[in-house]
């Protein structure tokens, strides 16, 4: 059955007709958000990660109808000066790059919950994402640096408050 749902994708309200079993992955790709990618279809690689109300979701397993009204973030919709993106670029954390948007969003989720995350927390949080090119060291560095940047920004804010 086709129903119309409303998704708030990267701050933009989108009304989309969906069937009950349409996947969030396909709906978002259909809306042009091709940073959301199918790598496994079974929740085991993280390439399809999106944030729904700030929480990471494997969109390959998610029925779109369940996200009616949700605020969704995809990597391509991050602000132009996004701190996590900046640190991934600086750390050269990409080879083919296919997996990287998923890692970027996982990093956002982690740092929103725990800006003090260290390497152990980072590894634990990113363990479900696969980078077949083997860029893990650079990804970890990017994540560590993004955490530092967050803490410093928070500190400066406090100072100036």
Partner 1 sequence: MTIDSRSAVSAGVADRGSAAFEGRAVGESWGRVAARSKVRGELQHAADEALRPCLDVVVTRSTRPHAEILGVDAARAKAVDGVVDVVTGADLHALLGDAIFTGPAFADQPCLAVGKVRYVGEPVAAVIARGRAAARAGAEEVAVDYRELDPVHDVDAAVRGAPFVHDELRPSVVFGDLAHLRGIRDTNVNYEYVLRHGDPVEPPPGSVTVSDEFWCPPTHHVPIELPFTAAWRDGDRLEILSTTQTPSYVRQSVADLLGLPLASVRVRTAPLGGSFGAKMYDRLEPLAAALAWTRRTAVRIAVSREEAFLLTTRHGAAVTGSMTADADGNIVAADADVRYDTGAYADVGPRITAKSGMVASGPYRIAQAHVRSRCVYTNKPSAGPFRGFGVPQVTWSHESLVDELARARGEDPAAFRRRNLLREGDVSVVGTPMHSADFVGCLDAVTAALDWESPLERPTGRYRRGRGVAVGIKAVLTPTISNAVLQLNQDGSATLLISTVDMGQGSDTIMAQIAAEPLCLPEGAVRVVAADTDVTPYDTITAGSRSTYHSGNAVRRAAEAMRDKLIEIAAARFGVAATDVKITGDGLVSTQTQQKASIPELLHAHFGARGTTLTTEADFRTTWQPYDKRTGRSPQVTEHWFAGAAAAQLTVDTATGRVHVEHLAIAGDVGRAINPALVEQQLTGAAIMGVGHALFDQLVFDEGQIVNGTLLDYQLPSIHDVPDRITPIVVENPHRTGPYGAKGVGETTIIPLAPAIANAVRDAIGIRFTRLPLTSERILDALAAQEEPS
State the binding string over 5-44 for partner 1 (x if CB under 8 A, else -): ------------------------x----xxxxxxxxxxx
Q: Which lies closer to ligand FES via its Cβ, residue 77 or residue 136?
A: 136
Site for partner 1 in 77-96 (CB under 8 A): 78, 85, 88-89, 92-96
The two structure tokens encoding residue 67: 């996200």
Burial of 32 (0-12, 13-18, 19+ CB in 10 A): exposed
Residues that contact partner 1, how many (by CB under 8 A): 50
**Alpha carbon distance, N-terminus to C-terminus of the chain:** 53
Residue 133 binding ligand FES, by CB under 6 A? yes
Q: Which one of 74, 107, 135, 141 is in contact with ligand FES (CB under 6 A)?
A: 135
State the binding string over 41-60 for partner 1 (x if CB under 8 A, else -): xxxxx-x-------------
Residue in the structure block whose two tokens are 């199918």: 38
The 10 Å Cβ neighbour count of residue 121 is 15
What is the C-alpha separation between 29 and 27, in angstroms, rounded?
5
Site for ligand FES in 99-118 (CB under 6 A): 99-100
DSSP sequence for 8-62: EETTEEEEEEEETT-BHHHHHHHTT-TTS--SSSSSSS-TTEEEETTEEEETTT-
**Residue ranges that bind ligand FES, judged by CB under 6 A:** 38-41, 43-48, 58, 60, 94-100, 131-133, 135
**Residue ranges that bind partner 1, judged by CB under 8 A:** 29, 34-45, 47, 74-76, 78, 85, 88-89, 92-101, 104, 119, 122-123, 126-140
């Amino acid at each position: 059955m086709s129903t119309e749902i409303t998704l708030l994708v990267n701050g933009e309200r989108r009304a989309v007709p969906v069937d009950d079993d349409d996947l969030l992955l396909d709906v978002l790709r259909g809306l042009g958000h091709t940073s959301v990618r199918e790598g496994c279809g079974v929740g085991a690689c993280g390439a399809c990660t999106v944030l729904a109300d700030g929480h990471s979701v494997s969109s390959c397993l998610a029925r779109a109808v369940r996200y009616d009204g949700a605020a969704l973030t995809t990597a391509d919709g991050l602000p132009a000066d996004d701190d996590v993106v900046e640190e991934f670029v600086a750390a050269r954390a990409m080879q083919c790059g296919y997996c990287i948007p998923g890692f970027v969003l996982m990093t956002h989720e982690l740092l929103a919950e725990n800006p003090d995350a260290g390497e152990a927390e980072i590894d634990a949080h990113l363990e479900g994402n696969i980078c077949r090119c083997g860029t893990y060291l650079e990804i970890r560095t990017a994540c560590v640096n993004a955490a530092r940047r967050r803490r410093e920004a928070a500190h400066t804010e406090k100072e100036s408050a």
